[in-house]
């Protein structure tokens, strides 16, 4: 019997702990680094515009499709802590989704960090922390993994495999795939036990970025048109992976664009007009065999045209800030202080380094989204002030021992 093609939909859910304006004169005098007002305000706004209405919509779709609709999420520890503090009803609605049996929750680094590029021991520690948090809230330890911003390399994949994960999500980057299609399951080049699901960036970005772009020649997008694109794409492949930020719905693409109506209608259109089955990542790797190993010697991500790590580590500001931070890893462990450990996690959030990106300073619409700083240099100075205080605290703590 011929295996039906699959669609795997995955959403990333994350909000950072934005830093308050931290001045040079605060160093050594003030240990509170975060802009609680901004964090609460933005979290509440995104909850009302995206998380709550979209979770309700997905519950309705699952009810209407008789469990034929499946979806996957990764939810960072950072945003779960913010849900607990500012919007517990959002966490409840994710638990309601978990209760349907149609949703898979995926492991990641606890606070959406770049640890896999700096310290494998720190990376593994954060993944364990996150996995325990997901099990606590949603009742199951994750089996699949996605790294921050889909960052992946052969080495990172091998480490993820050693941690016991059987599946990892990453970008179908053109410079890695060459002539190959992202619409198949691949395997890690070091350990073939780890299966790889690659994002179909064209079809994902048609929703995430181009949906409301009136200058795009294919605008407007309706379900009939999109279903025909899915069918054209699967002529070369077995699974289409649609991976995107959850904030696409209602935040990046406002409700007035019709994005909610589109998403409500899409599953029924797919199920009634095509052979596609909706699958979670775990179901995809059970159903489809890898066609080849994928060689990724240097890290890739889903960011920007380059699909590399230069959005976070592409200039001297970012490299200085990140190397100074990760140089503290052993000292933070030795300090054995829960408050220091917590701040260390928060200061590793990749967003802090993203704000320092100079690549798109002139036209970085997506980079500037939620960006609290006017310039990358302001972001760097503010971060380094906080980091200077943090280093003082760590050193003081070690002297006490």
* 99 to 84, 93, 103, 141, 284: CA distances (angstroms): 19, 10, 8, 15, 21
Give the β-pairing of 144-146 and 185-188.
Answer: unpaired
The backbone region for 316, taken as left when phi is positive above 0, alpha when psi lies in -120 to 50, beta otherwise, is alpha
Residue tagged 């260390």 (tokens): 344
Which residue in this structure is represented by tokens 């890290």?
299
Phi, psi of 6 (to 5 degrees): -115, 150
Upstream peptide bond of 26 is cis (omega within 30 degrees of 0): no
Closest CA to 48 of 210, 249, 261, 259: 249
State how far the Cα of 316 lies from the Cα of 313, in Å rounded to an integer.
8
Residue 385: which residues within 8 A CB-CB, separation 6 or more? Answer: 22, 23, 24, 26, 27
**2 is annotated as an active-site residue:** no
Contact criterion met (CB below 8 Å) for 96 and 63 = no
What are the φ/ψ torsions at residue 81 (nearest 5 degrees)?
A: -60, -40
- Answer yes or no: are the C-beta atoms of 132 and 96 closer than 8 Å: no
Q: Where are the beta strands (DSSP E) in 176-218?
A: 185-188, 195-199
Q: Which of 108, 122, 149, 247 is catalytic?
A: 149
Q: Tokens in use for 292?
A: 């080849």
Tell me if 106 sits within 8 A of 281, measured CB to CB: yes
CB of 71 within 8 A of CB of 103? yes
Rounded to the nearest angstrom, the gap between the alpha carbon of residue 225 and the centroid of all alpha carbons in its chain is 27
User: How many CB atoms lie under 10 A from the CB of residue 355?
Assistant: 26
| Positions marked active-site | 149
């Amino acid at each position: 019997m011929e295996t039906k093609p699959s669609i795997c939909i995955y959403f990333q859910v994350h909000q950072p702990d934005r830093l308050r304006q931290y001045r040079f004169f605060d160093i050594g005098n003030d240990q509170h680094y975060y802009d609680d007002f901004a964090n609460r305000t933005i979290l509440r706004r995104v909850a009302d515009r995206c998380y709550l209405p979209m979770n309700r919509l997905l519950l309705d779709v699952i009810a209407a499709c008789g469990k034929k609709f499946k979806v996957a999420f990764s939810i960072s520890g950072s945003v779960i802590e913010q849900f607990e503090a500012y919007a517990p009803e959002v966490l409840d609605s994710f638990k309601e989704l978990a209760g349907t049996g149609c949703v898979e929750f995926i492991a990641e680094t606890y606070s959406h960090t770049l640890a896999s590029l700096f310290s494998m021991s720190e990376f593994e520690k954060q993944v364990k922390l996150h996995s325990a948090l997901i099990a606590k809230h949603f009742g199951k330890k994750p089996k699949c993994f996605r790294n921050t911003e889909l960052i992946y390399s052969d080495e990172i994949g091998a480490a993820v495999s050693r941690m016991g994960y059987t599946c990892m999500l990453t970008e179908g980057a053109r410079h890695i795939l060459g002539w190959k299609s992202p619409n198949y399951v691949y395997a890690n080049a070091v350990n073939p036990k780890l299966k790889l699901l690659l994002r179909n960036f064209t079809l994902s970005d048609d929703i995430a970025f181009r949906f409301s772009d009136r200058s795009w020649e294919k605008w407007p997008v309706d379900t009939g048109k999109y279903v025909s694109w899915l069918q054209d794409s699967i002529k070369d492949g077995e699974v289409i992976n649609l991976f995107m930020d959850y904030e696409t719905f209602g935040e990046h693409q406002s409700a007035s664009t019709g994005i909610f109506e589109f998403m409500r209608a899409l599953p029924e259109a797919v199920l009634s007009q095509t052979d596609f089955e909706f699958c979670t990542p775990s179901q995809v790797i059970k159903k489809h065999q890898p066609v080849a190993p994928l060689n990724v010697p240097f890290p890739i991500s889903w960011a920007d045209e380059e699909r590399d790590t230069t959005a976070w580590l592409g200039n001297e500001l970012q490299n200085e800030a990140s190397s100074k931070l990760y140089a503290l890893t052993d000292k933070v462990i030795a300090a054995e202080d829960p408050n220091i450990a917590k701040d260390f996690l928060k200061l590793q959030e990749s967003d802090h380094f993203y704000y320092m990106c100079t690549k798109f300073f002139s036209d970085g619409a997506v980079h500037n989204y939620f960006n609290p700083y006017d310039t990358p240099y302001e972001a760097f100075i503010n971060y380094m002030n906080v980091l200077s205080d943090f280093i003082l605290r760590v050193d003081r703590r070690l002297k006490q021992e």
